[in-house]
Chain A
């Protein structure tokens, strides 16, 4: 049975739910959002990822209607939403602070949006009960926001946002205040709810793991610009720039000069060292500066010299023990420090390497991505 992959962005016939067209937002002479073009499709779980201050919240607030673009247009289902005030947009924003109404009970918080629509009492009641059930909050319906825990508050905010079944739900760092374990649980809960309700989610986060876990696609931002928009695996395995590679996960970057023959690439990276080899589909000029990006988990570490495309010797400088894996910092004679990861399949007492051991590191010619910038 063929499984259909959810990838509307690859289908030219698919119409995006949201379109940013050349959107720029300036505060005074500070450019917070710099000429962004972006399509987001219905039923997507879209993550905006980037360092603090890169413009994620601003982008969302423009979608919600709390900020207007200085230049460009935002379309929702093909309609320019520029002139539509926030309360008339089929968009709901869940705030980083949750913004629960402190004077209302959980029940009334969830009913707030429904009441504004003027639905009849029975319909409101049914919908609120449904939301309480979905977010497992039925027991707390009569409490006020200050009488429940942070995780529960977060679920109330979610229930309140979902109650009106918005076309688009914006979540601004919704899990920021939760501790790690609760955050992971909630991530799966969010994905589950997103699947059940079919709502399009746009989530802001500065936690790359979170983005990778929940998102159908991730946009990596920097200083108001989109650096890359792609699926989580593509962002991780085929980053388009050193910035993205470095931002998502751990990476070793080796700078060198390119010598390309077809898809094979030789990289001169240090005096008196054999060139490193990699494969690429991009074209590099002879002698062009390039950057080899290799994830630590793709570098093998061994006591004896292995055979392979890229083999280097070094000395263990540091070991970061993370429980399930260890990251070895290996110092090469050239001064480069390369991180190599190994799963800790044995107990500590029987581990192979320790500080100052001479070791070999190696990776295949397809393990690295070569980037021009």
Chain B
């Protein structure tokens, strides 16, 4: 067997599973969206014509972009602190960062219900401090969805970036210092450019994750803050509009695939050790 053939043979079981349980369903889902009697693209025309559906799409985009941006900033700062701490503290910090990932998404979203609710911890505290005179309604807003989403995805960003930052040799920042760079300049000129590929990977993970999320918008956004994931569920399971649901799924696949492709192209372009 040639090495090439052997590689194929080894990956055959996995390929088969992916084809059977991912490729086929996705293709058949996509196929149904083109089967409209009014023409193959009628479903899509209807989607992009509908004010409501476009609002949901834009809201989802907005939440995903804001979540990604905040996660990048918070995650980078945290990852920096973690990567720079001594070995023992570092493993404690990483465990602390990963811990939320060990509980389910639903549990973590419920926690925010308790915090942000009318009689929740946050309102109680603000009332007690006298900062507000009556409880704010924070649940079922874009704010509540975004904050829960950030909480959900920051650990992922931290994990991605700690690895990237740790892989930047200390020699490089020391060499920069030796050449006269202040700590801030060394960070801007050396650390940041070298962390770009990691930032892109982390951003793609968070963006696609938050764009396609279901449980968090369901619990913290409800009907009022419908997002693509919850909208899809509603179409499929409440109104049993399978073709409509498939169209939503297709739009989601296109958005995430485009993001992944554009970002990986960008990552290759910005890769510090490329051409």
Contact = CB atoms under 8 A, between A and B. Distances in A.
A95 B273 CA distance: 19
B42 interface: no
Interface string B263-275: 0000000001111
A88 B181 CA distance: 9
Interface of B: 169, 171-172, 174-183, 185, 189-190, 193-194, 272-275
A121 interface: no
Interface in A39-96: 64-66, 85-89, 91-93, 95
Nearest to A143: B275
Contact of B178 (A93, A101, A102, A146): A93
B179 A66 contact: no
Interface of A: 64-66, 85-89, 91-93, 95, 97, 99, 101-103, 112-113, 116-117, 144-146, 160-161, 164
Q: Which 5 A-B pairs have the closest CB atoms?
A: A103-B272, A113-B179, A99-B175, A99-B171, A116-B180
A169 B139 CA distance: 62
Contacts of B190: 101, 103
Contact of A86 (B169, B174, B274): B174
A189 B240 CA distance: 79
B181 to A, nearest CB: 5
B179 A160 contact: yes
Contacts of B194: 102-103
- Max chain A Cβ within 10 angstroms of own Cβ: one of B169, B174, B178, B273: B178
Contacts, number: 70
Given A64-B178, A66-B174, A113-B180, 9 more contacts: A65-B178, A87-B179, A89-B178, A93-B174, A97-B171, A101-B175, A103-B190, A103-B273, A161-B178
B228 to A, nearest CB: 36
Given A112-B189, A144-B273, A99 B169 contact: yes
Nearest to B193: A103
Contacts of B172: 99, 101
Contacts of A87: 177-183
A116 B174 contact: no
Contacts of B174: 64, 66, 86, 93, 95, 99
8 contacts: A87-B180, A87-B182, A97-B169, A99-B169, A101-B172, A101-B189, A103-B272, A116-B185
Nearest to B196: A103
Nearest to A108: B189
Contact of B171 (A95, A145, A164): A95
Contacts of A117: 180
Contacts of A99: 169, 171-172, 174-175
Nearest to B194: A103
B151 to A, nearest CB: 33
A95 B175 contact: yes
Contacts of B189: 101, 112
Contacts of A112: 176, 179, 181, 189
Given A103-B194, A144-B275, A85 B176 contact: no
A110 to B, nearest CB: 10
A85 B174 CA distance: 11
B178 A91 contact: yes
A177 B175 CA distance: 18
